[in-house]
Amino acid sequence: MPHSGEASIVCLADLARDDLAILRRFARREPRVRLIGISPNGADGAHAAGCFDTLPRKAASALVRKTVAAAFANIELAQRERAARTELERAEREMEELNRIGVALSETHDVSALLEIILSKAREITGADAGSLYLVEETRPDALEADRGDRHLRFKLTQNDSLQFPFAEFVLPMREDSLAGYTAVRGEVINLADAHHIPRGRPYRFNRRYDEETGYQTRSLLTLPMKNGRGEVIGVLQLINCKLHPAARLTSPEAVAREVRPFSERAVRLTLSLASQAAVAYENSRLYQDIEKLFEGFVQAAITAIEQRDPTTSGHSQRVSLMTLGLAEIVDRVETGAYAATHFAPEQMKEIRYAALLHDFGKVGVREEVLVKSEKLYPTQMNIIAHRFDYLFKDLEASLEREKFQALLELDRAEALSRIASLEQEYHLRRTDLENALRAIVQANEPTVLPEGQFDRLFEIARQTYRDPRGFEWPVLTPEEVRFLSIPKGTLDPDERAQIESHVIHSFNFLLQIPWTKEIREIPRIVRAHHEKLNGTGYPYKLKADEIPVQAKIMTICDIFDALSAADRPYKKAVPPERALNILEMSVKEHELDPDLYRLFLEAKIFNHASKY
């Protein structure tokens, strides 16, 4: 019996005598068969019996020929319709596949992974056993247009189903004597049924060295340009050995002869479409990568700006970032406890890193004299006090000399010498008092917790007065100086501490101005909460446990540890790591820090991450 694609058959069947059941089944099974029924009067009802048409037994020959011709025409029309439908379905499948590939390409921002996908998908839709990918590169891509060097091709990637071999990148000139070079220069497709038999007159040649060194046998070969939206060739796809069966392995000449065929025009068309998508996706990925590098540079510049204003905190942001990421990775992996269900996607890890790096950027909005204040009084204030005491010392000396001179003028020698001895003794006592007062002021100016009673000594000094050369009376210490020197802890008064704490608001407001992508848009909110405490005693918003993002809770532990244990700050001495951990533990007991996060921090020795920077 005939099969689809073979000769067309028209059967004339006597509806009264022939076995219609068999004929109907035959016609239904074979699309290129038509039945014409013969009946006494050519009844139309015979169509219901599965016949193309019916004729009367005494039909004229012209009618018979016309009906038979119409049956054959119907067969051909149906065949063309089936072929068109099949082609449409195949085109739809190809379009869907290209769309799926396009989605996969657009979702991949990692350039190396993207190139792997491009080559593997090109091989998949063409049935290629092997393939390579070349990228067009500038010798100096960062130079100005006039200073750029020649372009070249970089052999970036290769894949092979039948043979595994060591791979190393290399560059080759963009010249027309190589297949990839010709396609890159001309932007044209090369489709060779046999790469070893290139038609005469072509400028390119096939490099046999690869086959000779590996034992692989290249037969059919397809080289296509990857063109961007501007029509520029940015890369070249080279596909090798189109196979009849995708699972076949070309490990022998017999397998090559049996399996390999030329690349079809359909394969060329599909791969060109893929190559165009791939070029756009590659440029987008490079652009995405460049933007990330640009932003990374901005972040590093921001950190540099912070550290230049406050050099004593050099490296703090980097260390906090390393520790915060380390603790976040532990939280992401933990399978028990309060954070067993907490996981961070790669983009969230990036979000945590940037938040940690930028958490102190708002310090650029704090007055530098407050930011680097190492003692309770500003240097200018302490200089004024020092000059004031210099005047007091000189005034005391001048007063002594005046009274000695007066004694010599008014008293006899013996009385004068006695008076002078008394004056000098009094002078030494008063000078010692001044020296002790200045020493007490210098001591009180240091950023330490003052001993009990030290404030009384300051107030006593402040009650003392002196007269300037014009005769005006002034206190030895002004009320403002006493206020600063009376700071019980650290170097900052409440107003200055509020200024320092305002760096969180400055950071938050600054970060809000950046149009973050949706994957990392929580950075401002994380930074805003890195000085909050679980019990609501933190700043600036007095947030409590449930209101603080877990990323901020993680960062807070790392930030405090580094602030305690890093190099000396103007307002405090560094403490040993063990002491820093004890302080953190006390904060946990006071419900300031998360106990589960601190336990993970301690168990995983996250604090060792700080030593890496």
Mean pLDDT is lowest, of 50-54, 397-401, 457-461, for 50-54
Contact 180, 140 (CB under 8 A): no
Q: Are 362 and 509 in a shared domain?
A: yes
Q: Which two tokens stand for residue 247?
A: 């699972």
pLDDT at 3: 46
Say how far apart CA 322 and CA 325 lie, in whole Å: 5
563: domain CATH number is 1.10.3210.10
Q: Are 247 and 330 in a shared domain?
A: no
Q: Are 166 and 183 in a shared domain?
A: yes
Has residue 100 been placed in a domain?
Answer: no
554: pLDDT strictly greater than 70: yes
pLDDT at 106: 67
Q: Are 403 and 336 in a shared domain?
A: no
60: pLDDT strictly greater than 90: no
CA distances from 367 to 45, 127, 341, 411, 500 (A): 102, 67, 43, 61, 9
Residue listed under structure tokens 């640009």: 294
Q: 129: helix, coil or strand?
A: strand
pLDDT at 309: 81
H or E element: which one contains 54?
strand 53-56
Residue range 406-458, pLDDT digits in tens: 988 888 888 988 999 999 999 999 999 999 999 999 989 988 655 555 678 88
Has residue 152 been placed in a domain?
Answer: yes
Q: Are 181 and 238 in a shared domain?
A: yes
Q: Are 38 and 164 in a shared domain?
A: no
H or E element: which one contains 416?
helix 413-444
Query: Regarding predicted confidence, which is higher, 6 or 4?
Result: 6
Q: 474: helix, coil or strand?
A: strand
H or E element: which one contains 55?
strand 53-56
Say how many domains are in the chain.
Answer: 4
Q: Are 211 and 341 in a shared domain?
A: no
Give start and end residues of each alpha helix (H) in 223-264: 253-259
285: pLDDT strictly greater than 60: yes
Q: Which two tokens stand for residue 221?
A: 């070969």
Residue range 575-589, pLDDT digits in tens: 888 999 999 999 999
Could you tell me which of 9, 18, 82, 7 has the C-alpha nearest to residue 49? 18
Say how far apart CA 582 and CA 580 lie, in whole Å: 5
Contact 527, 359 (CB under 8 A): yes
Has residue 44 been placed in a domain?
Answer: yes
Contact 403, 423 (CB under 8 A): yes
Mean pLDDT is lowest, of 30-39, 93-102, 121-130, 421-430, for 93-102
DSSP classification of residue 191 = E
Has residue 299 been placed in a domain?
Answer: no
Q: Supply angle C-alpha 372, 376, 381, rounded to 5.
A: 95
76: domain CATH number is 3.40.50.2300
Please state the rounded mean pLDDT for residues 166-190. Answer: 91
Q: Going by C-beta distance under 8 Å and a sequence separation of 6 or more, which residues neighbour residue 324?
A: 352, 353, 355, 356, 551, 554, 555, 558
Q: Are 527 and 432 in a shared domain?
A: no
Q: Give the residue from 469, 490, 511 where a domain finishes.
A: 490
Please state the rounded mean pLDDT for residues 525-535. Answer: 96
550: pLDDT strictly greater than 80: yes
pLDDT at 4: 45
Give the Cβ contact number of residue 348 at 10 Å.
Answer: 16
How many helices (H) and strands (E) would you count in the chain? 20, 12
Paired strand residues for 154: 135, 171
Has residue 302 been placed in a domain?
Answer: no
Residue range 349-396, pLDDT digits in tens: 999 999 999 999 998 888 888 888 889 999 999 999 999 999 999 999
199: domain CATH number is 3.30.450.40
Q: Are 180 and 245 in a shared domain?
A: yes
Mean pLDDT is lowest, of 326-335, 504-513, 521-530, 574-583, for 574-583
H or E element: which one contains 13?
strand 9-14
pLDDT at 313: 76
Q: Which two tokens stand for residue 173?
A: 């000139």
46: pLDDT strictly greater than 80: no
pLDDT at 48: 46
Give the confidence band of 325 by pLDDT, cuts at 50, 70, 90. very high
Q: Are 145 and 206 in a shared domain?
A: yes
Has residue 186 been placed in a domain?
Answer: yes
Q: Are 189 and 66 in a shared domain?
A: no
42: pLDDT strictly greater than 90: no
Give the side-chain half-sphere CA count within 13 A for 447: 16
Residue listed under structure tokens 């983009």: 347
Q: Are 137 and 113 in a shared domain?
A: yes
What predicted TM-score, i.e. pTM, was given to this entire model?
Answer: 0.68
Q: 352: helix, coil or strand?
A: helix
Range(s) of the domain holding residue 259: 109-288
E strands, 125-198, in order: 128-138, 151-160, 170-173, 190-192
Q: 192: helix, coil or strand?
A: strand
Give the confidence band of 25 by pLDDT, cuts at 50, 70, 90. confident
Query: Regarding predicted confidence, which is higher, 216 or 282?
Result: 216
Residue range 200-231, pLDDT digits in tens: 999 999 988 888 888 899 999 999 998 888 88
CA distances from 329 to 324, 356, 379, 496, 529 (A): 9, 14, 45, 37, 20
pLDDT at 571: 56
Could you tell me which of 52, 54, 55, 58 has the C-alpha nearest to residue 74? 52
Q: Give the residue from 21, 56, 87 where a domain finishes.
A: 87
Query: Regarding predicted confidence, which is higher, 521 or 288?
Result: 521
Give the Cβ contact number of residue 155 at 10 Å.
Answer: 18
Q: What percent of the chain has pLDDT over 90?
A: 49
Contact 157, 119 (CB under 8 A): yes
pLDDT at 1: 42
E strands, 453-580, in order: 465-467, 473-475
Residue range 103-146, pLDDT digits in tens: 666 666 777 888 888 888 889 889 999 999 999 998 655 545 54
Query: Regarding predicted confidence, which is higher, 169 or 557?
Result: 557
Q: What is the mean pLDDT of the chain?
A: 86
H or E element: which one contains 323?
helix 316-333
Say how far apart CA 288 and CA 290 lie, in whole Å: 5
Contact 222, 191 (CB under 8 A): yes
Has residue 296 been placed in a domain?
Answer: no
Q: Give the residue from 254, 288, 322 where a domain finishes.
A: 288
Could you tell me which of 187, 263, 260, 168 has the C-alpha nearest to residue 225? 187
Has residue 2 been placed in a domain?
Answer: no
Query: Regarding predicted confidence, which is higher, 195 or 38?
Result: 195
